[in-house]
Structure formats: structure tokens, C-alpha cells
A = this chain, B = another copy of it.
Amino acid sequence: MARSEAAPSLTLIPADEARRILAETPPVAKERVALADAVGRVLAEPFAAPADLPGERRAVMDGYAVRGADVAGASALSPVVLAVTGNVPMGDVFPRAVGVGEAVAIATGGWLPPGADTVVMVEHTAPMDGGARVEISRGVARGANVVERGEDLTRGAAVLPGGRRLRPQDLAMLATFGVTRLEVYRRPRVAVLSTGNELCDPGEAPRPGQVRDANQTALGAQVQGAGCDVTRAGMVPDDATALRRAIARLLDDHDAILLSGGSSIGVKDVAADALADLEPPGILFHGIDIRPGKPTLFARAGRKPVVGMPGFPTSSLIVFDAFMRAMLWRLGGEGARDPWPARRAARIGREHRSVVGREDYLRVRIVEREGGVWAEPLPGGSATLSNVVFAHGLVRVDAAAPGLAAGEPVDVLLY
């Protein structure tokens, strides 16, 4: 049942307190996966460099490996001529040292032969005698165009912290060190469930009085986007026994359950009833002092979160973005992370009145006018869906603020 935003018997907790409780969500278990499957997974243990990187002195330019002392004084007026004694084959090493007055051709990435400590770029050289000698017409500092052993990382250096969601560059580093399997947190398995006698499946024609269930689709997509595997577990009528049974069954093989609807005080509080006898700690809060999304309920059955999301799709979408994505990141083993890295500074397009203590989320479009960037609040409350579809992002009105004056600077939290 899509219940009221105005549920007077909820005990509202401040948004910051809700975030504190949600951040205590314990992580799922760990597993080992192949490197190719590790993108977007959360590293379970810190990773330190198992060896120096690079393991040898390497060329970073195409050119000639030389002894720096031989070429430091070269110039256009008094070029230096060196004997070319061979070339470093890619993927192999040159079998001899580079002596005084000698040069060995080398390509980018090649290992410098013993004796050589410098690379002269090929652009600053001219071959002589059919390649038997090379003329260098510019001074080159000793150590130029090489990367020294351990210059990138020394053995034992801390590289990746545990709890890091692995990015492509992190995987590149692991591949470089030959890590082909690694310990990560399991992807949380999350069930989403809609409650409400008024719901029908999106594929059905609603009878008079019915609406199609949008929350399983939307919440399922949000859960996937948070790095979890999702089960769309269907619709349950507004009946505490049926809901209790569905939850018990889903808890067997899921790490979390997100219900939508049934979480506010309406005719009966079905979700709260159904969650009343969960394994401890049980219900941790029921009601957050926010708009929209006030009737959000959060419980844990042991380590497993069970969330009652508000029934209106718009409220549910915003509560997920503002609170539950970060909770699922924690469940997936991730360390603290800014849930809103993409922000844009703007001025609010019109006055917004709030209440001190309540955190509001406005759906806004970004409009550039009068040489400035404006965040224009979109019309419609939590019962309208178009505003979250047309919005570029949200503006959060802090709990401590009585609202926003027209033109006040804000950060748009971008979708």
C-alpha cells in the first residue's frame, strides 16, 4: 500500500543519525575471483607491492642506451660519436654491457644493458656508417629518459587499501604484478519486493483503482547500480503474515531485502508488523526527518538489512539515492565514500521553505541564464514521477536550515 507521507506516530530520527546507523551495516563474506572478473568488485585485503616496479632500469623513449658521462657534453658544435654495438631486442635483454664510447639501440620499455644509465632520444641522433656509429648533437643529462628500478613503486609500498572498489587502473597495477586471483567481497544478493493490494504487474492492464508497480523495476535497477545482484521477488499483498513469510523465505538466500510500500503508519502498519519478530537487532529506526521519504524503515535480521522503502516511486528513488546506496556499499565491504561526487554549484531559482530539523531533497533542473547557473525546482510532490525524470539532480536542504532564499547558492547533487 502506498501510504501517507504524514504519519504522525512515526518516531522520526534526524537524517544524520540515520546515516550513522546505516553506516554500521556489516559487510558480506569474502571470496576469491579472477582478475578479469574483478572490475567494480571491492578488494577485501590491502595490497602492497610484492616487488620493485619496474624491476629493472627501463627506457621510456626510443633511442640509444649509453653511459651518461659520454654524452653530457655533446652539442651541435661538438657532437659526440659512439660505436653502435647492437640493439636491445624487445622482450629480451642485450647480452653484453655498454662500454665507454658505445651505444646500444633500444626501444621504449626495453631494459638497459649493464653500464648504460641514460637514453638518448632517437630524434637527437643521426646514424653514420650505415648504422655502425651514431652521432649525438645535444647534451643529455645522466639518467635522462629512463625509469629506475623501483622508481614507480618500491617493494612493500602500500598500493591499494582494503575496502576499495577496484577501478581499471587498480586492475592494471594488479596485472602488472602478476596477481591473477584476488580476495574480494561477495556481491551482495539483494531481493526487492513490492507490497500493496493496489499494485499490478507492469505487463498487466490495471483495473480501476490499481496502479502498475514501478518500484521493483526502479529499485532493482538502483540495487544493481550499487554493485549488487538483484532478485525481483514480486508483489505481496498488504498482509503481515504473507509479508513475514516472504521475508523469512528471502532471508534464507539473500543478504538484504528492500520492500517498497507498507512502511508508513496507514490503516495498519503491515511492514512494521511483519518485521517485529526479526532476529536481533530488528528494527533500528522507523521514520527519518526528511522530505520526501519520511516513512523509511530500517531493520537488521542479524547482519542482514531489511529496509522498508516508501511506496511512492519518487520517494523511494530519492531515499535510495540519499541513504540506501551508501548502505549497500557498506554491505558490499566498501569503505566510506562520498555518495555525491558529482556536484554543480548553482543558485536556487525560487524560495523553498523547510522546517529546522528536517532535511529536504528538491528535484531541480539546471538552467543557465543571466550569466549564471540556476537550479530550478521542478513542480510536483512525491506523488508525481515526472520531476525525478526531468531533474538533472537534487538539492539537499540541510536539516539546520529553515529553507532556502531565492538566489541562495546551492550544490546540485547530479544524477
Q: Which residues of A contact B (CB under 8 A)?
A: 1-8, 35-36, 39-40, 53-54, 56, 58, 60-63, 88-93, 107-111, 121-123, 147, 151-153, 157, 159-160, 167-180, 196-200, 202-205, 207-222, 224-225, 232, 238, 266-267, 311-314, 317, 320, 341-344, 380-386, 388-389, 414-415
Among A7, A170, A178, A381, chain B packs the most CB atoms within 10 A around the CB of A178
Q: In the complex the two chains form, is B2's CB within 8 Å of A218's CB? A: no
From A160, which residue of chain B is reached at the shortest CB distance? B389
Q: In the complex the two chains form, is B151's CB within 8 Å of A380's CB? A: yes
Q: In the complex the two chains form, is A108's CB within 8 Å of B4's CB? A: yes
Q: In the complex the two chains form, is B90's CB within 8 Å of A198's CB? A: yes
Q: In the complex the two chains form, is A224's CB within 8 Å of B39's CB? A: yes
Nearest-CB distance from A350 to chain B (Å)?
19
Rounded to whole angstroms, the CA-CA distance of A415 and B166 in the bound complex is 12
Rounded to whole angstroms, the CA-CA distance of A113 and B84 in the bound complex is 96
Inter-chain contacts of A7 with B (CB < 8 A): 62
Inter-chain contacts of A213 with B (CB < 8 A): 175
Q: In the complex the two chains form, is B385's CB within 8 Å of A217's CB? A: no
Other-chain residue from B89, B173, B202, B208 in contact with A209 (beta carbon distance below 8 A): B89
Q: In the complex the two chains form, is A317's CB within 8 Å of B221's CB? A: no
Q: In the complex the two chains form, is A147's CB within 8 Å of B383's CB? A: yes
Rounded to whole angstroms, the CA-CA distance of A42 and B381 in the bound complex is 28
If A62-B266, A90-B197, A180-B202 touch, whether A169 touches B53 (CB-CB below 8 Å) is no
Q: In the complex the two chains form, is A386's CB within 8 Å of B214's CB? A: no
Rounded to whole angstroms, the CA-CA distance of A178 and B167 in the bound complex is 37
Rounded to whole angstroms, the CA-CA distance of A90 and B237 in the bound complex is 10
Task: Give 6 CB contacts A-B under 8 Å.
Answer: A88-B209, A108-B311, A147-B383, A157-B386, A173-B385, A175-B214
Rounded to whole angstroms, the CA-CA distance of A216 and B176 in the bound complex is 11
Q: In the complex the two chains form, is B173's CB within 8 Å of A91's CB? A: no
From A382, which residue of chain B is reached at the shortest CB distance? B60
Q: In the complex the two chains form, is B169's CB within 8 Å of A388's CB? A: yes
Among A39, A160, A200, chain B packs the most CB atoms within 10 A around the CB of A39
Q: In the complex the two chains form, is B176's CB within 8 Å of A385's CB? A: yes
Q: In the complex the two chains form, is B3's CB within 8 Å of A152's CB? A: no
Q: In the complex the two chains form, is B386's CB within 8 Å of A159's CB? A: yes
Inter-chain contacts of A121 with B (CB < 8 A): 4, 6
Nearest-CB distance from A168 to chain B (Å)?
4
Q: In the complex the two chains form, is A61's CB within 8 Å of B6's CB? A: yes
From A265, which residue of chain B is reached at the shortest CB distance? B62
Nearest-CB distance from A13 to chain B (Å)?
20
Among A6, A169, A342, chain B packs the most CB atoms within 10 A around the CB of A169
Inter-chain contacts of A380 with B (CB < 8 A): 151-152
Inter-chain contacts of A172 with B (CB < 8 A): 214-215, 217-218, 313, 317, 385, 388-389
Rounded to whole angstroms, the CA-CA distance of A175 and B147 in the bound complex is 56
Rounded to whole angstroms, the CA-CA distance of A217 and B37 in the bound complex is 9
Rounded to whole angstroms, the CA-CA distance of A210 and B151 in the bound complex is 18
Q: In the complex the two chains form, is A108's CB within 8 Å of B2's CB? A: yes
Inter-chain contacts of A109 with B (CB < 8 A): 1-2, 196, 198, 211, 311
Rounded to whole angstroms, the CA-CA distance of A160 and B388 in the bound complex is 12
Rounded to whole angstroms, the CA-CA distance of A35 and B168 in the bound complex is 29
